[in-house]
Amino acid sequence: MELIDNKNCFVCGKENKIGLKLDYEIEDRKFKAEFIPKPELQGFKDIVHGGIVTTLLDEAMVNLAYKLKLNAVTKTITVNLKKPTVVGHKYNLSGEIVEEQEKIIKAKATLKDQNNELVAEAESILVKLK
């Protein structure tokens, strides 16, 4: 199965009307993006829903694999939410491939605040599609 970018990804798709439209770059085999959450993404008042934070971390790993032509999707993801992600604050999202094997990829991602403090982190196993 080949993965196809149809510009409708919830996180980075520019044609997704309800998506985040995240701008990112791939540099030295690493995913990098800035993120300023809007009020529509909150769970409790002024706190971004944990599912959105998890989605961002997943994107940093899977999108990187896609851009590196590794054709892989998430098999498992483990997320550690260290402190609340606050609406309106600026965050730095990053992702990297830790290990690549024949059928799987191990990756990690982080979300850090303006003071470079860790807000959330994830580890994932991606499975390569045939």
Is the residue at 75 inside a domain? yes
What's the pLDDT tens digit per position in 30-40? 999 999 999 99
| Residue 47 included in any domain | yes
pTM over 0.85? The answer is yes
Structural domain contains residue 14: no
Residue 121 lies in domain: 24-128
Give one DSSP letter per residue of 19-85, joined into a string. Answer: S----EEEETTEEEEEE---GGGBSSTTBB-HHHHHHHHHHHHHHHHHHTT--EEEEEEEEEE-SPP
Asked if residue 11 is part of any domain, the answer here is no
pLDDT tens track of the chain, all 130 residues? Answer: 888 888 889 999 899 999 999 999 999 999 999 999 999 999 999 999 999 999 999 999 999 999 999 999 999 999 999 999 999 999 999 999 999 999 999 999 999 999 999 999 999 999 999 8
CA distances to 53, 101, 105 from 42, rounded to whole Å, are 10, 37, 31
Q: Is 6 domain-assigned?
A: no
> What is the CATH classification number for the domain harbouring 36?
3.10.129.10
Instruction: Give the total number of structural domains in the chain.
Output: 1
Q: Are β-strands 30-35 and 24-27 bridged in parallel, bridged antiparallel, or unpaired?
A: antiparallel
The number of CA neighbours under 13 Å toward the Cβ of 10 is: 11
Q: Which of 60, 54, 51 is nearest to 23 (CA)?
A: 60
pLDDT digits (tens, 9 = 90+) for 1-16: 888 888 889 999 899 9
Residue 45 belongs to some domain of the structure: yes
Residue 8 lies in a domain: no
Is 10 within a domain? no
